[in-house]
Amino acid sequence: MKKLFLRFGLLVLIILVISQIALMTMPFSWGNIRLNTKYETYIDNHEQYNTLFIGASTTYRHINCHQFDSLVNAQRPDMQIRSFNFGIPANRTPQSVYMLGNLVDYDKSNLKYVVIDLSELTKMGADNLHKKEMIYWYNYDNILGVMKASYESEKSIGKKFSVPALHAFSFAEKSFMIGMGPALVQQHAGMNLEMRSLGPNGDGFYSLDQEMIDDPDGDLAQRYNELRTQDTIDYRTQRCQFLYDKYNNSKNNPNKTIQKNLEDIIAFCDENDIKVVIMLSQRLGDRYEYLIPLYNKLPEENKIGFQNPSEYPMFNQRENLFDLAHLNAPGSTLFTEIFAEKFLERIDMQNGVSPLVKDTIDTDTTRSTPEDKSL
């Protein structure tokens, strides 16, 4: 029996070593085809970019790099902004931390500005298991932190233990590359690419309107028709306003681990002369229960928030929305204008410069919105 256990243990060790070698042959982005496409494109031209946007779909669909660069450079030509959008649908905040770490490891010499969009923290369900998109970002450096953050963010006793366990199980799946043989082959065969996901300008921004045009048989048309009724829009707006009013002054942030991650990023960027801004997007619904208290703990000069529906009513209007939470192309044009102004204000604050008296960007909700060039 002892020999049997020893042989089994040796077999497990051999499989683990082979799996780790296989993982070492692939880039950090191997588990997400859109991320992998963006990363492969970025490394081919990384000297051109000094600004990165990292986050979920609210980054991907809302920040138009070409427009942002033009707006910022028109006001501050000394910054010479050239940005790339690394937004990925369903990206979690720990994944964004993982992405930034790998991008900085690849090349931090050209990097001057980073924007991280807060999103889902550590939610995990059984339906997320066995998917390469959900396991590629775990490593030995972050798994314990992810499990701890899951324990902190979950409310029920059952989920405080089951969700960290699911993360641990997924980490084991990655470690042994269970079921990931096809992903390995696709990566090395150059098949893990989807060039359309770069958007029409090739800089990572891709409006939902444009993707619906490019992929008419996809599910975006259904989302557009079913999740854009006035009743559903109004309910989400009211829910977001309720949560903002409830948590806006809250100092009780249970997510200490994620807070420490973000504070470490701010400190690292400061040490390396990189300006970092952490953004909280609009219309995130129940996620505000834990994202607003987390946001409240961050330094004022390092954050931009759109969580108050009353402050930004234009983002609640049907003509600017694609679905419950995402803006359409005209909405993203408006968002990028406002974000560019807020971004410059935060960069000035980080540089210790008093806000300059300048013309504010017109945010009148009745004004016509420029047609998005990607359409």
pLDDT in tens, 17-52: 999 999 999 999 999 999 999 999 999 999 999 999
**How would residue 3 be classed by pLDDT, with cut points 50, 70 and 90?**
confident
Helices (H) and strands (E) in the chain, counts: 15, 5
For residue 1, what pLDDT is reported? 79
- CA 65, CA 301: separation in Å to the nearest integer? 22
CB 143 within 8 A of CB 171: yes
The reply to whether 18 falls in a domain is no
- Other residues' Cβ atoms within 10 Å of the Cβ of residue 244: 17
pLDDT higher than threshold 50 for residue 371:
no
Q: What are phi and psi of 35, to 5 degrees?
A: -65, -40
- CA 188, CA 200: separation in Å to the nearest integer? 26
Give how many domains the chain has, as a whole number.
1
CATH, residue 304: 3.40.50.1110
**How would residue 360 be classed by pLDDT, with cut points 50, 70 and 90?**
very low
Q: What is the mean pLDDT of the chain?
A: 92
The reply to whether 358 falls in a domain is no
The reply to whether 5 falls in a domain is no
Polymer length in residues for the chain: 375
Q: Give the residue numbers spanning the domain of 202.
A: 29-350
For residue 153, what pLDDT is reported? 87
The reply to whether 72 falls in a domain is yes
DSSP 78-125: GG---EEEEE-TT--HHHHHHHHHHHHHH--SS--EEEEEE---S---
Residue 121 or 73, more confident = 73
- CA 361, CA 282: separation in Å to the nearest integer? 19
pLDDT in tens, 177-216: 999 999 999 999 999 999 999 999 999 999 999 999 999 9
- Other residues' Cβ atoms within 10 Å of the Cβ of residue 367: 10
The reply to whether 320 falls in a domain is yes
Q: Residue 320 gets which letter from DSSP?
A: G
The reply to whether 125 falls in a domain is yes
**How would residue 365 be classed by pLDDT, with cut points 50, 70 and 90?**
very low
For residue 353, what pLDDT is reported? 85
The reply to whether 174 falls in a domain is yes
Over range 338-362, report the average pLDDT: 79
DSSP 249-260: T------HHHHH
CB 344 within 8 A of CB 76: yes
The reply to whether 22 falls in a domain is no
pTM assigned to the model: 0.92
